[in-house]
Amino acid sequence: MGSKVADLPHPFDPLSLDEIAHAIGLVRKAHGEVFFNVVSLQEPRKAEMTAWLENPEIAPRPKRIADVVVIAPGGKVYDGLVDLADSKIIHWEHAEGQQPIITMEELQLVEHIVRKDPKVIEQCILSGVAPEDMHKVYCDPWTIGYDERFGNNVRLQQALMYYRPEVDNCQYQYPLDFCPIYDADKGEIIHIDIPKIRRPLSTAPPMDYIPAAVEARGGYRNNLKPINITQPEGVSFKLDGRWLEWQNWKFHIGFNYREGIVLNDITFNDKGTVRPIFYRLSLAEMVVPYGNPEAPHHRKHALDQGEYGAGYMTNSLSLGCDCKGSIHYLDAEFPTRNGGVTTIKNAICIHEEDAGILFKHSDFRDDSVIVTRGRKLIIQQIFTAANYEYVVAWTFHQDGTIAPEIKLTGILNTYAMLEDEDTHGWGTQVYPGVNAHNHQHLFCLRIDANVDGPNNTVFVGDAVPSPHPVGSPENFYGNGFYNKRTKLATEGESKTDYNGATSRTWEIANTNKLNPYSKKPVSYKLVSREVPGLMPKEGSLVWKRASFARHAVHVTKYRDDELWPAGRHVPQTSGEPSRGLAEWIGDGTTSIDNTDIVLWHTFGVTHFPSPEDFPVMPAEPMMLLLRPRNFFAGNPVMDVPPSYCSTPSQVAAGKLGVLDATDKLSTLAFANGAVRVNGTNGAAAASCCSSKTNGVNGH
**Which residues does the annotation mark as catalytic?**
304, 388
Of the candidates 440, 441, 438, the one whose C-alpha atom is nearest the C-alpha of residue 608 is: 438
φ and ψ of 211, to 5 deg: -50, -40
Q: Which is nearer to a second copy, 48 or 353 (CB)?
A: 353
Angle, CA of 620, 623 and 629, to the nearest 5°: 170
Residue 694 interacting with a second copy (CB under 8 A):
yes
Q: How far is the CB of 590 from a second copy (least distance, A)?
A: 28
Q: How far is the CB of 299 from a second copy (least distance, A)?
A: 8
Are the CB atoms for 405 and 395 separated by under 8 Å? yes
From the list 425, 561, 576, 586, which residue makes contact with a second copy (rule: CB under 8 A)? Answer: 425
Region binding a second copy by CB under 8 A among candidate stretches 73-81, 128-136, 577-585, 644-652: 644-652
From the list 560, 561, 583, 639, which residue makes contact with a second copy (rule: CB under 8 A)? Answer: 639
Of the candidates 193, 387, 147, 192, the one whose C-alpha atom is nearest the C-alpha of residue 288 is: 387
Q: Which is nearer to a second copy, 499 or 590 (CB)?
A: 499
Taking the C-alpha atoms of residue 68 and residue 539, their distance in angstroms, rounded to an integer, is: 33
Residue 682 interacting with a second copy (CB under 8 A):
yes
For the beta carbon of residue 452, count every other beta carbon within 10 angstroms.
20
**CA separation, residue 637 to residues 12, 321, 401, 526 (Å):** 30, 31, 11, 20
Q: How far is the CB of 358 from a second copy (least distance, A)?
A: 6
Residue 216 interacting with a second copy (CB under 8 A):
no
Region binding a second copy by CB under 8 A among candidate stretches 119-127, 178-186, 278-286, 382-390: 382-390
From the list 59, 95, 126, 336, which residue makes contact with a second copy (rule: CB under 8 A)? Answer: 336
Q: How far is the CB of 589 from a second copy (least distance, A)?
A: 28
Residue 320 interacting with a second copy (CB under 8 A):
yes
Binding residues for a second copy restricted to 176-215, rule: CB under 8 A: 207, 209-214
Angle, CA of 154, 158 and 163, to the nearest 5°: 150
Q: Which is nearer to a second copy, 515 or 594 (CB)?
A: 515
Region binding a second copy by CB under 8 A among candidate stretches 53-61, 65-73, 391-399, 577-585: 391-399
Taking the C-alpha atoms of residue 189 and residue 179, their distance in angstroms, rounded to an integer, is: 10
Binding residues for a second copy restricted to 268-297, rule: CB under 8 A: 289-293, 295, 297
Region binding a second copy by CB under 8 A among candidate stretches 151-159, 342-350, 441-449, 585-593: 342-350
Residue 586 interacting with a second copy (CB under 8 A):
no
Q: How far is the CB of 45 from a second copy (least distance, A)?
A: 25
Q: How far is the CB of 32 from a second copy (least distance, A)?
A: 19
Region binding a second copy by CB under 8 A among candidate stretches 125-133, 447-455, 590-598, 625-633: 625-633
Are the CB atoms for 158 and 146 separated by under 8 Å? no
CA atoms within 13 A on the CB side of 244: 25
Are the CB atoms for 90 and 83 separated by under 8 Å? yes
Binding residues for a second copy restricted to 27-86, rule: CB under 8 A: none
**CA separation, residue 643 to residues 359, 651, 654, 663 (Å):** 10, 16, 19, 7
Residue 512 interacting with a second copy (CB under 8 A):
no
Residue 588 interacting with a second copy (CB under 8 A):
no
Residue 473 carries which DSSP code? G
Residue 652 interacting with a second copy (CB under 8 A):
yes
From the list 46, 61, 115, 529, which residue makes contact with a second copy (rule: CB under 8 A)? Answer: 529
Edge-first strand order for the sheet with 88-94 is 35-41, 65-72, 76-83, 88-94
Q: What SS3 state is found at 203?
A: coil
Residue 306 interacting with a second copy (CB under 8 A):
no
Residue 226 interacting with a second copy (CB under 8 A):
yes
Angle at which helix 104-116 crosses helix 118-127, to 10 degrees, equals 70
Taking the C-alpha atoms of residue 523 and residue 372, their distance in angstroms, rounded to an integer, is: 26
Q: How far is the CB of 355 from a second copy (least distance, A)?
A: 9
Taking the C-alpha atoms of residue 699 and residue 688, their distance in angstroms, rounded to an integer, is: 19
Q: Which is nearer to a second copy, 281 or 287 (CB)?
A: 287
Residue 501 interacting with a second copy (CB under 8 A):
yes
Tell me, what amino acid is at 123?
A: Q
Binding residues for a second copy restricted to 553-572, rule: CB under 8 A: none
Q: What SS3 state is found at 83?
A: strand
From the list 304, 352, 452, 491, which residue makes contact with a second copy (rule: CB under 8 A)? Answer: 352
Are the CB atoms for 435 and 416 separated by under 8 Å? yes
Q: How far is the CB of 164 from a second copy (least distance, A)?
A: 9
Binding residues for a second copy restricted to 121-180, rule: CB under 8 A: 138, 166-168
